[in-house]
Structure formats: structure tokens, C-alpha cells
Amino acid sequence: MKKGTLCLLADFDAENYIRDIMRRGAVEGGVGVAAAGLPRHISLGMPYEVKDWVAYEKFAEKLAKELKPVTVRLCDIVAGKISEQFGSYFLKFEESFGLDELRVQVRSKLISELGLEIPEKDGVTGQKSITLGFGTAPYENYKGFVDSIDRSFIGKDLTFNELGIFYYDQPTIAANNFFCCRRFKLV
């Protein structure tokens, strides 16, 4: 099984800004560093099986030439419950570039141009959020850190200027079973 998905990737300044919050979460909040190895990203869909990786990478390279860098405005930080045992945390954002429409457009192109089977709704990508970490600490740790953090970041703009391909080789998503295998600059 080889799965992939496409994501918008944070620029250098946005990546460092977000990673500072993540470091504080690990040091002050006891949330660990799960998913820290990934670039900060905005998902354009959940993982789907990819039949032809060469064609998929060419598709992504072509798509990146059609897209422009985007800006999002941070509006909150939230803790989530993954299971009875584990939690997560993420930044919520507002956008004005039409993320929902972009997700629909990308899904449609992947189906029509590559014949991929992609679920219409997955419950995750409808959100406007940037994952900071998940799955290695109790929900209470994430919640405690999120409740304690200064909200001075609200209103901060972050830029996403690359398209990334994430590669998965496991049937379930965990913080340690996927990585960003390709990056393309947006024009």
C-alpha cells in the first residue's frame, strides 16, 4: 500500500514561528514532539492510494505551477481528543484564498487526471487548522498547555509557499508513519 496526499507548506518564517510554539508545548506542556518532523502544512485532502507515483509527482509539479503562495491569519489554538488515551493540538486560522474550493478542485483533478479514488468528505480536511502535534501525550497535557498559552499570536499572518507530497506506508495515520517526500515552490 502506497498512499499520498498534497499539502500547502509553510514558508521559512512561518515554520520557525510555529515551531517555537511547538517547542514551548514540549518543554512547558509535556506534549512531546510527535509530528514535529513534518513541515507545518495545510492539508488538501486525506491520504489516498496512489497507483503511479511518477504520474502523481508530475501532477503535483504541474499543480504547483498553477498555484500562488497563500496567507492565513491565526485565530486560536485548540486541543483535541484523539482517543480516551491521547490528544492533539493545532492552530486554527482564517483564510481568504478559497481553501474549500481549492480542496474540491484538487480532488476533482486527481480523479479525472489520475483516476484516483478519493473520499468526498473525511471529517478532517474540512477544518482550517495546522497540526502542531498528536498522539503521544494525554489529552489533559494538550489541553493544559493550550489553556495556558498567551493568545498574542491571534491575528498573525503566515505564508504557505510550497506544495508538498506526503507519503504514507501504513493503513492508519500516526505521527511516525508518513513524511514529506517532495516539495514544489508555488509561483
Most confident of 43-52, 132-141, 145-154, 161-170: 145-154
pLDDT tens for each residue of 80-125: 998 888 899 999 999 999 999 999 999 999 999 999 998 776 555 5
138-165 mean pLDDT:
97
Kindly report the number of other CB atoms within 10 A of residue 46's CB atom. Answer: 16
Cell triple for residue 1? 500500500
Domain spans of the chain, in order of start: 3-185
139-161 mean pLDDT:
97
- 3-185, which class in CATH? alpha beta
The sign one gets for the Cα dihedral 187, 62, 114, 2 is negative
Cell triple for residue 86? 491521547
Kindly report the number of other CB atoms within 10 A of residue 131's CB atom. Answer: 22
What is the C-alpha separation between 38 and 27, in angstroms, rounded?
19
Give the chain's count of helices (H) and strands (E): 4, 8
143 with 86: CB under 8 angstroms? no
Q: What's the pLDDT score for residue 134? A: 86
What is the C-alpha separation between 99 and 79, in angstroms, rounded?
22
